[in-house]
Chain A
């Protein structure tokens, strides 16, 4: 009885070790995909709306804290191409691409359709992770101010056009949040439409 118990303990221990090794293995065992196929036939019954909400929440997290320019630069570098090559593929001027990557480009001077063409040239087929950073940038650059009459100011070296606009309106006119939101959504829709059209 005692010997049998010892054997049982050893077997349990060995099984636990094997199980832990199985769990920690970097790769699945053979036939894992076949096993998955048996699971994938049935529907989960989860509504498409719920799936969409869950998908988008993680996408927003992936883009959090990153600028549009930084993300585009990393994409280009991962593709192993230089600014000149992107310029040839997208018909963007190299210096404009550099400004965009360095977050110095005023979105008010960028046609949504041209931005869509650039994204397609970088191999994208939708905004995906870029959606939230682009929305934030558009909120800052395409802000619509409540009317306060014409405001004049000089251009200054080292100050971008959108910074100048923002500074001139400071304490003069408040941002019209609703109009800005409409402007931003329209811009994003135009970028999306342009990409869809180019991708056929």
Chain B
């Protein structure tokens, strides 16, 4: 629970007064940074902790600066009846978490390398990963059971699909955490435009669903 020293500063903050902004920062930086860091660590852990903690602290520091700056700019939107000002600043930071921290986590995960489905060794490594499960894939024990049971079938479908369909699905939905803009991140890594990647994914998803529903077992007739 935070104290209420911010109440004295609020009238000055509403006038964009820089000294009061500095006082607000000095009083609540530790609280806001600490809370956002705890949230970011959970996020990072859930993705297998691809971002080292010192780097995560730098990212959260950037996020904290952004949260305070946004809060100062939009202080007119703040309604004291709906909660304490420091909590509102954390809310602003939480909204930016996917952008700053999420992107770094996605890149961190992806920096481990691409999956080349035509390479047997890479394929074996991918299968290991799929069987080990990524934390963001399995949300609860029930999902985990379903995932394990359906894993073999999914792998068979992916192996039978055209290679770039399978790779697009794996890169976006398995190897990249569900953060905003993940299709764009993967597109850049695969040297495609976002719209080309989006189109490839749509075709891949349609093909995957058709195979899953017991349709085609051979290569997609629509071509790649």
Contacts and interface: CB of A to CB of B under 8 A. Distances in A.
Contacts of B21: 62, 129
B26 A40 contact: no
A36 B88 CA distance: 11
B33 to A, nearest CB: 7
A23 interface: yes
B26 A36 contact: no
A132 to B, nearest CB: 10
Contacts of A129: 18-19, 21-23
A119 B83 CA distance: 31
B77 to A, nearest CB: 5
A32 B26 contact: no
Given A23-B98, A33-B83, A129-B18, A62 B25 contact: yes
Given A62-B18, A126-B26, A40 B83 contact: no
Given A24-B95, A58-B25, A75 B19 contact: yes
Interface string B22-47: 11011001110111011100000000
A74 B22 CA distance: 13
A124 B91 CA distance: 27
Given A46-B34, A54-B29, A33 B84 contact: yes
Given A46-B34, A63-B22, A128-B22, A26 B61 contact: no
Interface residues of B, number: 41
Nearest to B23: A128
Interface string A22-59: 01101110001100110110101010001100110011
Contacts of B217: none
Contacts of B1: 33, 37, 40
Nearest to B84: A33
A156 interface: no
B39 A39 contact: yes
A78 B209 contact: no
A27 B74 CA distance: 11
Interface of B: 1, 11-12, 15, 17-23, 25-26, 29-31, 33-35, 37-39, 57, 61, 65, 68, 74, 77-79, 82-84, 87-88, 90-91, 95, 98, 209, 213
10 contacts: A26-B77, A28-B87, A36-B90, A40-B1, A40-B34, A58-B65, A59-B25, A63-B18, A71-B19, A128-B26
Closest 9 CB pairs of A and B: A129-B22, A78-B17, A28-B91, A128-B22, A78-B15, A26-B77, A44-B34, A55-B29, A78-B12
